[in-house]
């Protein structure tokens, strides 16, 4: 009887550990075999090996290539996207660049942070003669699907890697004196489709298509500030 109790306790303990590790893992399905109600024929690109933290640049080029550009992610990161790795401390305070304006770190290195939508918009609008970009903060991914996906326009969205739980990361003082906190797991993907239960993305992390449950995708989208970037041709007839 005592052995039986010990075995049961061990089983319960193992089950608890398993749930803690995997119970909250977001549901992802194979987007190549899943049936979408609407999906755009966007070719996914990988950020590896050249841009291990440059998912934002890769996502931007994914959309630009869908619109007819021959741009490469490497060129976008090297020539268009401003990077700033100027972190320094004064006393106990860390100072650094604004990810809303520039890439914080270097997208070609694995130990960098990244950037938010404003930096991508700035890169496209400052350097492209063929494309323009706009930052949007819609309340939901459903809104983006209605306004853009249904009209044939893929959208850059800020979520997390694998739609996993995020948490506040490193904080630093921005050039304007405000405090910025980086969200761990930050990731940029391209929203390309949906069905009743899932959203479909081009994922620079995997270099392929990914589909995640709508509820968890929406939650991560909100945690990253409901950031979306729309890229359009400056001259639709070009």
First-to-last C-alpha distance (Å) of the chain: 80
- pTM of the full structure: 0.88
Q: Give the pLDDT band of residue 210 (cuts 50, 70, 90).
A: very high
The H or E element containing residue 175 is none
Mean pLDDT, rounded, of the chain: 90
Q: What mean pLDDT is predicted for residues 84-101?
A: 98
Domain 26-233 = CATH 3.90.70.10: yes
Q: Looking at 21-86, which runs of residues are DSSP E strands?
A: 28-29, 38-39, 83-84
φ/ψ of residue 9, rounded to 5: -60, -40
Q: Give the pLDDT band of residue 33 (cuts 50, 70, 90).
A: low
Q: Give the pLDDT band of residue 165 (cuts 50, 70, 90).
A: very high
Q: Look at residue 227 and tell me whether its pLDDT is greater than 60.
A: yes
Q: Look at residue 232 and tell me whether its pLDDT is greater than 80.
A: yes
Q: What is the pLDDT of residue 28?
A: 79
Radius of gyration for the chain, computed over Cα atoms and rounded to the nearest angstrom: 20
As a whole number of angstroms, the distance between CA 154 and CA 145 comes to 9
Q: Look at residue 21 and tell me whether its pLDDT is greater than 60.
A: no
Q: What is the dihedral of CA 132, 67, 120, 142, to 10 degrees?
A: 100
Q: Give the pLDDT band of residue 18 (cuts 50, 70, 90).
A: very low
Q: Look at residue 213 and tell me whether its pLDDT is greater than 90.
A: yes
Q: Look at residue 4 and tell me whether its pLDDT is greater than 80.
A: no
Please, what sign has the CA dihedral across residues 169, 173, 175, 177?
A: positive
């Amino acid at each position: 009887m005592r052995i039986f109790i010990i075995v049961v306790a061990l089983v319960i303990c193992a089950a608890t550990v398993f749930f803690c590790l995997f119970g909250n893992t977001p549901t992802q399905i194979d987007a190549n075999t899943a049936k979408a109600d609407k999906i755009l024929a966007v070719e996914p690109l990988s950020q590896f090996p050249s841009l291990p933290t440059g998912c934002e640049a890769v996502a931007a080029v994914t959309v630009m290539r869908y619109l007819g550009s021959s741009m490469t992610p490497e060129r976008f990161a090297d020539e268009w996207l401003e990077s700033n790795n100027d972190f320094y401390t004064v006393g106990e305070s860390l100072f650094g660049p604004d990810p809303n304006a520039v890439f914080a770190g270097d997208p070609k290195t694995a130990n960098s942070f990244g950037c938010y939508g404003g930096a991508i918009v700035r890169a496209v609008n400052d350097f492209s003669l063929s494309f323009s970009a706009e930052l949007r903060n819609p309340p939901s991914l459903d809104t983006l699907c209605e306004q853009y996906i249904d009209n044939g326009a893929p959208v850059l969205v800020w979520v997390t890697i694998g739609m996993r739980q995020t948490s506040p990361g490193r904080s630093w003082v921005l050039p304007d004196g405000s405090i910025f906190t980086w969200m761990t797991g930050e990731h940029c993907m391209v929203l390309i489709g949906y069905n009743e239960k899932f959203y479909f993305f081009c994922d620079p992390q995997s270099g392929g298509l990914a589909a995640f449950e709508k509820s968890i995708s929406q939650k991560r989208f909100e945690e990253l500030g409901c950031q979306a970037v729309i890229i359009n041709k400056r001259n639709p007839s070009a």
